[in-house]
Amino acid sequence: MLRTKQTKFFVAIVVCVGVCSIFNQHWWMRWLEPLGLTKQQYNIAGQITSKTFLTRNDVKHIIVDNEKDCKNRRFLVFQCSSSCGGWGDRQKGSVSAFLLSLMTSRSFIINITTPCDVENILKPAMYNWTMCKRYVQETLNKDPTRNLPLGWTNGHVIYRDRIKEYESLWNTQIVTINLNFYILDEIREFRLAENRLQWVFDTIDSEVIRMILQALYAPRLRLSSELNNYIHKMTKNGQMLVCNHIRTGRNPTIPHDTEQRFYDLSTIFNFLEQYHDVSKYVIYVASDSDSVRDAAAKRFKNFANLNRKIIHVDRFDEVETPNDLCEGFYTALFEQYILSRCDVLVLTRSNFGCLAAYLRGKSEGLFIYDKDKDLIIPSNLTNVQTVYNFD
């Protein structure tokens, strides 16, 4: 009798799996294929694929475990020692550079020193990008000819052509690179990448970006402890954390920014009004404008104020002290980590906010402001890139 029940149970499972598989296939053909979404993308979007983070095995060909081995390795260095964009640009650049290092079997190093050394705030996560850093610096000081510097100032097209010629051009031990755009599509064009980076082909862009950033960067003790304490204090009575990121560009708070972005705050704030219940929600507004924060504080009784000075990490006032600049850099990272942990996240067009959404890792509770329609609309992680069209 027991065997009969077990057999029936097994058959039921098999039938269910078959029916679900047919349904998934039909659902994809009926709804997603006409929208241009491939079956592979459907599988990934439906979280059928199992890869959610990178392991040492994925990057083992570029890992150096012993400083004594540095002299026998080749390196790709993501270099940011002068003007290289805001933190979002630097995250995009480090993602692209890391993929290039994996594809070309070069050990990867991050050297971000402006407005202060990023190592003051973040530490290596799964992949140790500080290994051999001293060796590389000493080598370049002794013999600069062992370096091939690549910059992005000539434009994306020219730069991407240089990347495609890596086999003939990259003949030095060290390649330093400075870029602030994604090259995921270009990476997928390389036959070599199919062997070494198969997971990139099997994963949507937002997940590739999240996995790489989480493999590279982790908050140091000060940042992690202050972040946890701040969020706990905000939501200590079990409230949901509702966040909004408003990137305005050039304004009195960051007067040296290169562009201005105008938004109808009333549309955004009216949307946030549904979360006004103090007992259920806390509203956090991250912005590069003090006036936006002040307006939010006046509008919402459950507004959480960070009370920290805002700077743009690449376009700051020269009279700022080194400590103020480093604290401003810290604040930027602090805010992005807050945004990545929100229950509800409302974005305006910004690399910084979009990457916070990727780090958050889910589409549930994600909304974007459509400036052309002056509307807040529900979104998913893939649609953020489609609507905002970041390079």
**What CA–CA distances, in Å, run from 37 to 28, 29, 185, 204, 210?**
8, 10, 16, 11, 21
Q: Is residue 356 within 8 Å of 345, Cβ to Cβ?
A: yes
**What CA–CA distances, in Å, run from 391 to 144, 179, 182, 227, 275?**
31, 11, 6, 30, 33
**Which regions of the chain are under pLDDT 50?**
1-49, 153-158, 252
Q: Which pLDDT score, from 0 to 100, does residue 152 have?
A: 55
Residue type, 90: R
Whose tokens are 């259920």? That residue is 280
Q: Which pLDDT score, from 0 to 100, does residue 138 have?
A: 96
Please tell me the distance from the alpha carbon of residue 232 to that of residue 176, in angstroms, as a whole number: 41
> For residue range 168-186, what is the model confidence (pLDDT) as tens digits?
678 899 999 888 889 898 8
Q: Which pLDDT score, from 0 to 100, does residue 206 have?
A: 94
**Assigned fold of 56-219:** Rossmann fold (3.40.50)
Nearest residue to 101 via CA among 69, 73, 137:
73
Please tell me the distance from the alpha carbon of residue 341 to that of residue 19, in angstroms, as a whole number: 36
User: Residues of CATH 3.40.50.11350 domain(s) within the chain?
Assistant: 221-388
> Which two three-digit tokens encode residue 241?
């954390």
Q: Where are the alpha helices (DSSP H) in the chain?
A: 2-27, 39-45, 56-59, 87-104, 133-142, 156-164, 166-169, 184-189, 191-196, 198-201, 205-216, 221-234, 265-272, 290-299, 322-339, 351-360, 381-388
Q: Is residue 382 within 8 Å of 365, Cβ to Cβ?
A: no
* Residue 72 backbone zone (phi > 0: left; psi -120 to 50: alpha; other: beta): alpha
Residue type, 80: C
Please tell me the distance from the alpha carbon of residue 110 to that of residue 166, in angstroms, as a whole number: 20
Q: Which pLDDT score, from 0 to 100, does residue 179 have?
A: 86
Q: Which pLDDT score, from 0 to 100, does residue 159 have?
A: 55
Q: Is residue 213 within 8 Å of 359, Cβ to Cβ?
A: yes
What 3-state DSSP class applies to 110? strand
| Cα first-last separation, the chain | 63
Nearest residue to 378 via CA among 342, 344, 335:
344
Please tell me the distance from the alpha carbon of residue 186 to that of residue 151, in angstroms, as a whole number: 17
| Class level of CATH domain 221-388 | alpha beta
> Which two three-digit tokens encode residue 155?
């434009």
